[in-house]
């Protein structure tokens, strides 16, 4: 193994802090048993998906990387987790929405060329979905179990050192139904149980795991602005690194340098936030 450690980042899109702590019984159970730790993390502004994806992976704010809306997309120039892991000799994998391929590999996304690729990097092993024709009444998200299985396949087939999985299921459910409803209770329950089926395998295979969201959502299913409900998410960590006090408020810009440090990859000068794990 080229790197000091290996790590998987699981991003559940659009899950506000309160839903994690109230509804994710498996994740909370592992916190209670001492197997995981949890903190609150605040997203960048705007608390919009594309802006947050780019900041989570580059460690710089939208005002620097320039992804300022879901409609403003290009290949981001700043170094990011994929580019730095590849440079250090590590193998990367992604099972995500196609925006991640556009920001960190090539833009625009060509659905035939880019739907799945295995190449030298920066994203070495990519498996993507576009959610084309997504809308309020037409969710168009893949099954989360299929995506968790795909990530697990990448870990075993290619021995990836760093892998990310990103699913929009809960964000879409929130935009559709809001949060104070039985549909969202059940959606969070099913996500938590789908994840629970895979998490012990990843840990057994030697991965550290971080589970978090890109941003929160209001009860009406909105995000993009400056508000605790729109910006604040939970971050669960399974691994040997030492973290801050339980009531610390993490900054989303800390995520990229923290992951690189856990992997033993040099942190580029553009990532100015302090890692939260040591
Ligand atoms: Zn989002």
Spell 173-196 as b/e; 16+ CB within 10 A means b.
Answer: bbbbebbeeeebeebbeebbebbe
Q: What is the pLDDT of residues 187-212, one digit of tens each?
A: 999 999 999 999 999 999 999 999 99
- Give residue 65 CA to ligand 1 midpoint distance, Å: 17
- Give residue 250 CA to ligand 1 midpoint distance, Å: 18
Q: What is the pLDDT of residues 37-68, one digit of tens each?
A: 999 999 999 999 999 999 999 999 999 999 99
H or E segment and range at residue 12: strand 7-12
**HSE, side-chain direction, 13 A CA sphere, residue 156:** 11
Residue 169 pLDDT grade (very low, low, confident, very high; cuts 50, 70, 90): very high
- Give residue 154 CA to ligand 1 midpoint distance, Å: 24
Nearest to 16 by CA among 51, 54, 43: 43
Ligand 1 is an ion; residues with CB less than 5 A from it: 13-14, 49, 171, 214
Q: What is the DSSP string of 122-165?
A: SSSEEEEE--TT-BTTB--PPPHHHHHHHHHHHHHHH--SEEEE
- Determine the pLDDT at residue 2: 79
Cα–Cα distance list, 263 to 120, 166, 186, 198, 251 (Å) = 19, 20, 35, 21, 19
**HSE, side-chain direction, 13 A CA sphere, residue 11:** 26
Q: What is the pLDDT of residues 9-46, one digit of tens each?
A: 999 999 999 999 999 999 999 999 999 999 999 999 99
- Give residue 215 CA to ligand 1 midpoint distance, Å: 6
Task: Give the integer Cα–Cα distance in Å for 260 and 266.
Answer: 7
Give me the long-range contacts of 177-182 (CB less than 8 A, separation at least 24).
Answer: 177/221, 178/219, 178/220, 178/221, 179/16, 179/19, 179/217, 179/218, 179/219, 179/221, 180/219
- Give residue 214 CA to ligand 1 midpoint distance, Å: 5
- Give residue 2 CA to ligand 1 midpoint distance, Å: 32
- Give residue 173 CA to ligand 1 midpoint distance, Å: 12
Instruction: Please report, in angstroms and rounded to a whole number, the separation of the first and last CA atoms in the chain.
Output: 21
- Give residue 224 CA to ligand 1 midpoint distance, Å: 9
- Determine the pLDDT at residue 154: 98
Task: Give the integer Cα–Cα distance in Å for 89 and 2.
Answer: 6
- Give residue 100 CA to ligand 1 midpoint distance, Å: 12
Structure tokens given for 1? 């193994």
Model-wide pTM > 0.95? yes
- Give residue 12 CA to ligand 1 midpoint distance, Å: 8
- Give residue 15 CA to ligand 1 midpoint distance, Å: 8
- Give residue 117 CA to ligand 1 midpoint distance, Å: 24
- Give residue 53 CA to ligand 1 midpoint distance, Å: 8
Residue 227 pLDDT grade (very low, low, confident, very high; cuts 50, 70, 90): very high
Burial class (CB in 10 A: 0-12, 13-18, 19+), 133: exposed
- Give residue 72 CA to ligand 1 midpoint distance, Å: 15
- Give residue 4 CA to ligand 1 midpoint distance, Å: 31
Q: What is the pLDDT of residues 125-153, one digit of tens each?
A: 999 999 999 999 999 999 999 999 999 99
Q: What is the DSSP string of 62-123?
A: HHHH---STT------S--HHHHHHHTT--EEEEEEHHHHHHHT-SS--HHHHSEEESSSSS
- Give residue 89 CA to ligand 1 midpoint distance, Å: 30
CA angle 96, 100, 106 (to 5 degrees): 130
Residue 242 dihedral angles phi and psi, to the nearest 5°: -95, 135
Task: Give the integer Cα–Cα distance in Å for 115 and 128.
Answer: 5
Q: Are 210 and 259 in contact (CB under 8 A)?
A: yes
- Give residue 223 CA to ligand 1 midpoint distance, Å: 8
């Amino acid at each position: 193994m080229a790197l000091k450690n290996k790590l998987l980042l699981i991003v559940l899109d659009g899950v506000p802090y309160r839903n994690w702590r109230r509804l994710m019984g498996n994740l909370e159970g592992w916190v209670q048993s001492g197997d995981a730790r949890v903190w609150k993390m605040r997203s960048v502004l705007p608390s919009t998906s594309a802006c947050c994806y780019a900041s989570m992976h580059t460690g710089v704010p939208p005002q620097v990387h320039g992804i300022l809306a879901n409609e403003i997309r290009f290949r981001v120039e700043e170094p990011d987790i994929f580019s730095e892991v590849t440079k250090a000799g590590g193998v990367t994998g992604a099972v995500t929405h196609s925006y991640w391929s556009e920001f960190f590999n090539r833009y625009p996304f060509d659905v035939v060329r880019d739907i799945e690729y295995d190449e030298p990097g920066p994203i070495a092993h990519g498996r993507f979905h576009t959610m084309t024709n997504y809308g309020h009444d037409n969710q168009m998200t893949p099954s989360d179990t299929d995506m968790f299985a795909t990530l697990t396949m990448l870990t075993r087939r290619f021995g990836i050192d760093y892998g990310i999985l990103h699913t929009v299921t809960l964000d879409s459910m929130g935009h559709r139904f809001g949060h104070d409803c039985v549909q969202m209770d059940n959606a969070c329950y099913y996500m938590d149980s789908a994840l629970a089926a895979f998490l012990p395998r990843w840990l057994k295979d030697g991965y550290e795991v971080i589970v978090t969201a890109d941003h929160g959502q209001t009860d009406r299913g909105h995000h993009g602005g400056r508000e605790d409900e729109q910006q604040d998410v939970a971050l669960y960590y399974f691994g040997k690194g030492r973290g801050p006090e339980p009531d610390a408020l993490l900054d989303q810009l800390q995520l990229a340098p923290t992951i690189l440090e856990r992997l033993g990859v040099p942190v580029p000068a553009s990532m100015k936030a302090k890692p939260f794990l040591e």
